[in-house]
Structure 1
Amino acid sequence: MPPPNRRNMSSGSGSGSSTSGRLEALAQQDPIDFEIEFYERLLKALPDFVEVLQVQSENYRIRNRQQDGLAVDLRLAELRPRDPRIHYNLACRYALLRQTEQALRTLRRALELGYRDFQYLEQDRDWDHLRRDPRFRQLIREFRSQG
Protein backbone atom coordinates (compact mmCIF):
# COMPACT_ATOMS: atom_id res chain seq x y z
CA MET A 1 0.00 0.00 0.00
CA PRO A 2 1.51 3.39 -0.91
CA PRO A 3 2.15 5.91 1.87
CA PRO A 4 -0.59 8.48 2.39
CA ASN A 5 -0.27 11.71 0.49
CA ARG A 6 1.07 14.25 3.00
CA ARG A 7 -0.73 17.04 1.23
CA ASN A 8 -4.04 15.42 2.20
CA MET A 9 -2.97 15.19 5.85
CA SER A 10 -2.47 18.92 6.41
CA SER A 11 -5.02 20.96 8.24
CA GLY A 12 -6.84 23.34 6.02
CA SER A 13 -7.93 22.98 2.45
CA GLY A 14 -5.56 20.27 1.34
CA SER A 15 -3.36 22.46 -0.80
CA GLY A 16 -0.45 22.14 1.62
CA SER A 17 0.62 25.68 0.91
CA SER A 18 -0.85 27.05 4.14
CA THR A 19 1.12 24.50 6.18
CA SER A 20 4.35 25.20 4.34
CA GLY A 21 3.70 28.93 4.70
CA ARG A 22 3.30 28.56 8.46
CA LEU A 23 6.47 26.48 8.67
CA GLU A 24 8.37 29.04 6.63
CA ALA A 25 7.12 31.84 8.90
CA LEU A 26 8.23 29.89 11.98
CA ALA A 27 11.65 29.29 10.46
CA GLN A 28 12.06 33.04 9.93
CA GLN A 29 10.91 33.96 13.43
CA ASP A 30 13.41 35.07 16.05
CA PRO A 31 14.06 32.20 18.53
CA ILE A 32 13.03 34.28 21.57
CA ASP A 33 9.80 35.38 19.92
CA PHE A 34 9.13 31.77 18.93
CA GLU A 35 9.68 30.63 22.54
CA ILE A 36 7.43 33.35 23.91
CA GLU A 37 4.60 32.36 21.59
CA PHE A 38 5.13 28.64 22.18
CA TYR A 39 5.31 28.96 25.97
CA GLU A 40 2.29 31.26 26.13
CA ARG A 41 0.27 28.50 24.47
CA LEU A 42 1.78 25.81 26.67
CA LEU A 43 1.09 27.79 29.84
CA LYS A 44 -2.58 28.12 28.93
CA ALA A 45 -2.77 24.34 29.25
CA LEU A 46 -0.24 23.98 32.10
CA PRO A 47 -0.30 27.24 34.11
CA ASP A 48 1.76 25.82 37.00
CA PHE A 49 4.70 24.55 34.91
CA VAL A 50 7.43 26.23 36.98
CA GLU A 51 10.35 25.53 34.66
CA VAL A 52 8.50 27.02 31.68
CA LEU A 53 7.41 30.01 33.75
CA GLN A 54 11.05 30.66 34.66
CA VAL A 55 12.17 30.60 31.02
CA GLN A 56 9.22 32.76 30.01
CA SER A 57 10.10 35.30 32.70
CA GLU A 58 13.58 35.64 31.23
CA ASN A 59 12.20 35.83 27.68
CA TYR A 60 9.95 38.71 28.70
CA ARG A 61 12.91 40.47 30.33
CA ILE A 62 14.94 40.12 27.13
CA ARG A 63 12.07 41.59 25.10
CA ASN A 64 11.47 44.35 27.68
CA ARG A 65 7.94 43.11 28.30
CA GLN A 66 8.18 43.93 31.99
CA GLN A 67 4.45 43.89 32.81
CA ASP A 68 4.08 40.44 31.25
CA GLY A 69 7.16 39.35 33.16
CA LEU A 70 5.76 40.71 36.41
CA ALA A 71 2.64 38.56 36.04
CA VAL A 72 4.84 35.49 35.50
CA ASP A 73 7.14 36.34 38.42
CA LEU A 74 4.18 36.85 40.75
CA ARG A 75 2.83 33.46 39.70
CA LEU A 76 6.23 31.87 40.39
CA ALA A 77 6.35 33.46 43.85
CA GLU A 78 2.89 32.05 44.51
CA LEU A 79 3.96 28.57 43.42
CA ARG A 80 7.34 28.67 45.21
CA PRO A 81 6.88 31.00 48.18
CA ARG A 82 10.11 29.90 49.92
CA ASP A 83 12.46 30.06 46.92
CA PRO A 84 14.95 32.92 47.41
CA ARG A 85 15.97 33.05 43.74
CA ILE A 86 12.37 33.46 42.59
CA HIS A 87 11.90 36.32 45.05
CA TYR A 88 15.18 37.87 43.92
CA ASN A 89 13.99 37.80 40.30
CA LEU A 90 10.65 39.30 41.34
CA ALA A 91 12.52 42.08 43.16
CA CYS A 92 14.55 42.73 40.01
CA ARG A 93 11.35 42.97 37.99
CA TYR A 94 9.98 45.59 40.37
CA ALA A 95 13.29 47.46 40.07
CA LEU A 96 13.05 47.40 36.27
CA LEU A 97 9.52 48.76 36.56
CA ARG A 98 10.82 51.55 38.84
CA GLN A 99 8.61 50.32 41.69
CA THR A 100 11.28 51.11 44.25
CA GLU A 101 9.39 50.37 47.47
CA GLN A 102 8.14 47.02 46.20
CA ALA A 103 11.60 46.18 44.81
CA LEU A 104 13.28 46.81 48.15
CA ARG A 105 10.59 44.98 50.11
CA THR A 106 10.85 41.95 47.81
CA LEU A 107 14.65 42.03 47.86
CA ARG A 108 14.50 41.95 51.66
CA ARG A 109 12.24 38.89 51.41
CA ALA A 110 14.70 37.16 49.05
CA LEU A 111 17.52 37.87 51.49
CA GLU A 112 15.44 36.62 54.43
CA LEU A 113 14.82 33.40 52.50
CA GLY A 114 18.55 32.92 52.02
CA TYR A 115 19.60 34.68 48.81
CA ARG A 116 23.31 35.37 49.31
CA ASP A 117 24.94 36.00 45.93
CA PHE A 118 26.09 39.49 46.91
CA GLN A 119 28.72 39.63 44.17
CA TYR A 120 26.02 39.15 41.54
CA LEU A 121 23.59 41.47 43.32
CA GLU A 122 26.14 44.29 43.36
CA GLN A 123 26.79 43.91 39.61
CA ASP A 124 23.25 43.14 38.43
CA ARG A 125 22.23 45.90 35.99
CA ASP A 126 18.60 45.61 37.11
CA TRP A 127 19.59 47.55 40.25
CA ASP A 128 21.50 50.35 38.51
CA HIS A 129 19.00 53.08 39.36
CA LEU A 130 18.85 51.98 43.02
CA ARG A 131 22.56 51.61 43.78
CA ARG A 132 22.78 55.04 45.39
CA ASP A 133 19.64 54.55 47.44
CA PRO A 134 20.81 54.21 51.06
CA ARG A 135 18.10 51.61 51.74
CA PHE A 136 19.53 49.36 49.03
CA ARG A 137 23.06 49.66 50.41
CA GLN A 138 21.78 49.09 53.95
CA LEU A 139 20.02 45.85 52.94
CA ILE A 140 23.24 44.51 51.47
CA ARG A 141 25.25 45.49 54.56
CA GLU A 142 22.66 44.05 56.93
CA PHE A 143 22.46 40.64 55.31
CA ARG A 144 26.12 40.39 54.33
CA SER A 145 27.03 40.79 58.01
CA GLN A 146 24.78 37.82 58.84
CA GLY A 147 27.12 35.69 56.76
Structure 2
Amino acid sequence: MSRKPEDDLPFVISFYESILRRDPQYDSVIEILGSLYTKTGRIADGLKMDRKLVRIRPDDSTARYNLACSLALSHKFEDALQTLSEAISLGYSDADWMAKDDDLKCFNNHAAFKELIELARKNQQRNT
Protein backbone atom coordinates (compact mmCIF):
# COMPACT_ATOMS: atom_id res chain seq x y z
CA MET A 1 0.00 0.00 0.00
CA SER A 2 1.53 3.29 -1.05
CA ARG A 3 1.06 6.53 0.84
CA LYS A 4 0.10 9.79 -0.81
CA PRO A 5 2.06 12.93 0.11
CA GLU A 6 -1.09 14.55 1.52
CA ASP A 7 -1.36 11.67 4.02
CA ASP A 8 1.77 13.02 5.70
CA LEU A 9 0.63 16.66 5.91
CA PRO A 10 -0.44 16.49 9.57
CA PHE A 11 3.00 15.11 10.47
CA VAL A 12 4.76 17.74 8.35
CA ILE A 13 2.70 20.54 9.91
CA SER A 14 3.43 19.22 13.38
CA PHE A 15 7.14 19.06 12.56
CA TYR A 16 7.26 22.69 11.38
CA GLU A 17 5.15 23.84 14.33
CA SER A 18 7.70 22.29 16.69
CA ILE A 19 10.49 24.21 14.94
CA LEU A 20 8.49 27.43 15.17
CA ARG A 21 7.95 26.92 18.91
CA ARG A 22 11.73 26.86 19.35
CA ASP A 23 12.32 29.82 17.03
CA PRO A 24 9.18 31.97 16.58
CA GLN A 25 10.95 34.29 14.11
CA TYR A 26 12.16 31.55 11.73
CA ASP A 27 10.81 33.21 8.60
CA SER A 28 11.24 30.26 6.23
CA VAL A 29 9.24 28.04 8.57
CA ILE A 30 6.55 30.71 8.93
CA GLU A 31 6.29 30.84 5.13
CA ILE A 32 6.03 27.06 4.81
CA LEU A 33 3.44 26.79 7.58
CA GLY A 34 1.33 29.52 6.01
CA SER A 35 1.22 27.55 2.79
CA LEU A 36 0.54 24.23 4.50
CA TYR A 37 -2.24 25.65 6.64
CA THR A 38 -3.93 27.13 3.60
CA LYS A 39 -3.50 23.92 1.60
CA THR A 40 -5.20 21.94 4.37
CA GLY A 41 -8.09 24.40 4.72
CA ARG A 42 -6.81 26.12 7.86
CA ILE A 43 -7.32 29.54 6.30
CA ALA A 44 -7.30 31.53 9.57
CA ASP A 45 -4.02 29.90 10.62
CA GLY A 46 -2.54 30.56 7.17
CA LEU A 47 -3.61 34.21 7.43
CA LYS A 48 -1.95 34.47 10.84
CA MET A 49 1.33 33.11 9.44
CA ASP A 50 1.19 35.38 6.39
CA ARG A 51 0.63 38.43 8.59
CA LYS A 52 3.54 37.41 10.79
CA LEU A 53 5.79 36.92 7.76
CA VAL A 54 4.94 40.38 6.39
CA ARG A 55 5.86 41.90 9.77
CA ILE A 56 9.24 40.13 9.58
CA ARG A 57 9.77 40.80 5.84
CA PRO A 58 7.92 44.07 5.17
CA ASP A 59 9.58 44.62 1.77
CA ASP A 60 9.06 41.09 0.44
CA SER A 61 6.60 41.31 -2.45
CA THR A 62 5.89 37.56 -2.45
CA ALA A 63 5.11 37.53 1.27
CA ARG A 64 2.73 40.44 0.68
CA TYR A 65 1.17 38.62 -2.30
CA ASN A 66 0.59 35.52 -0.15
CA LEU A 67 -1.02 37.69 2.52
CA ALA A 68 -3.36 39.13 -0.13
CA CYS A 69 -4.34 35.59 -1.11
CA SER A 70 -5.07 34.66 2.51
CA LEU A 71 -7.12 37.81 2.93
CA ALA A 72 -9.13 36.97 -0.19
CA LEU A 73 -9.75 33.43 1.07
CA SER A 74 -10.89 34.96 4.38
CA HIS A 75 -13.41 37.14 2.50
CA LYS A 76 -11.57 40.32 3.45
CA PHE A 77 -11.82 41.56 -0.12
CA GLU A 78 -10.93 45.25 0.27
CA ASP A 79 -7.90 44.38 2.40
CA ALA A 80 -6.89 41.74 -0.14
CA LEU A 81 -6.94 44.19 -3.05
CA GLN A 82 -5.04 46.80 -1.03
CA THR A 83 -2.41 44.24 -0.02
CA LEU A 84 -2.15 42.98 -3.59
CA SER A 85 -1.53 46.56 -4.70
CA GLU A 86 1.21 46.84 -2.06
CA ALA A 87 2.80 43.61 -3.33
CA ILE A 88 2.92 45.01 -6.85
CA SER A 89 4.34 48.30 -5.57
CA LEU A 90 7.09 46.26 -3.94
CA GLY A 91 7.83 44.62 -7.29
CA TYR A 92 5.59 41.56 -7.51
CA SER A 93 5.56 40.67 -11.20
CA ASP A 94 4.09 37.22 -11.86
CA ALA A 95 1.00 38.52 -13.65
CA ASP A 96 0.33 35.22 -15.39
CA TRP A 97 0.14 33.35 -12.08
CA MET A 98 -1.88 36.13 -10.50
CA ALA A 99 -4.47 35.93 -13.29
CA LYS A 100 -5.04 32.20 -12.75
CA ASP A 101 -4.42 31.88 -9.00
CA ASP A 102 -7.41 30.06 -7.48
CA ASP A 103 -6.93 32.02 -4.25
CA LEU A 104 -7.83 35.19 -6.14
CA LYS A 105 -10.59 33.84 -8.39
CA CYS A 106 -13.12 35.90 -6.43
CA PHE A 107 -11.68 38.93 -8.26
CA ASN A 108 -11.78 37.57 -11.82
CA ASN A 109 -14.47 40.02 -12.94
CA HIS A 110 -13.31 42.90 -10.78
CA ALA A 111 -12.00 45.94 -12.68
CA ALA A 112 -9.49 46.89 -9.96
CA PHE A 113 -8.04 43.36 -10.08
CA LYS A 114 -7.59 43.57 -13.85
CA GLU A 115 -5.75 46.87 -13.37
CA LEU A 116 -3.47 45.24 -10.80
CA ILE A 117 -2.69 42.42 -13.23
CA GLU A 118 -1.64 45.02 -15.79
CA LEU A 119 0.60 46.74 -13.23
CA ALA A 120 2.19 43.37 -12.45
CA ARG A 121 2.76 42.85 -16.21
CA LYS A 122 4.59 46.18 -16.31
CA ASN A 123 6.80 44.98 -13.45
CA GLN A 124 7.36 41.78 -15.42
CA GLN A 125 8.42 43.72 -18.51
CA ARG A 126 10.82 45.85 -16.45
CA ASN A 127 12.41 42.68 -15.06
CA THR A 128 13.10 41.13 -18.49
TM over 0.5: yes
- Counterpart CA distance in 2 for 1:124 and 1:34 is 27
Unaligned segments of structure 2, at least 5 residues:
1-5
Q: Is 2:33 aligned against 1:56?
A: yes
The counterpart of 1:92, out of the listed 44, 65, 69, is 69
| Aligned residues with identical type, % of pairs | 35
Residue matched to 1:121: 98
Tell me, yes or no, if the aligned pair for 2:94 and 2:121 is still in contact at 8 Å. no
The alignment's TM-score, normalised by the length of structure 1, stands at 0.76
The counterpart of 1:134, out of the listed 111, 119, 124, is 111
- Counterpart CA distance in 2 for 1:39 and 1:122 is 30
Matches within 5 A, 1:26-65: 30-65=7-42
Change in Cα spacing, 1:119 to 1:143, as seen in structure 2 (3 Å) is closer
Q: Name the SS of the counterpart of 1:141 in structure 2.
A: helix
Q: Which deviates further from its counterpart, 103-112 or 30-39?
A: 30-39
- Counterpart CA distance in 1 for 2:63 and 2:27 is 10
- Counterpart CA distance in 1 for 2:114 and 2:31 is 27
Tell me, yes or no, if the aligned pair for 2:43 and 2:70 is still in contact at 8 Å. yes
Q: Which deviates further from its counterpart, 31-40 or 59-68?
A: 31-40
Change in Cα spacing, 1:122 to 1:75, as seen in structure 2 (3 Å) is same
Alignment length, in residue pairs? 119
Say which one has the larger Rg. 1
Change in Cα spacing, 1:40 to 1:113, as seen in structure 2 (3 Å) is same
Unaligned segments of structure 1, at least 5 residues:
1-28
Which has more helix, going by share of residues? 2
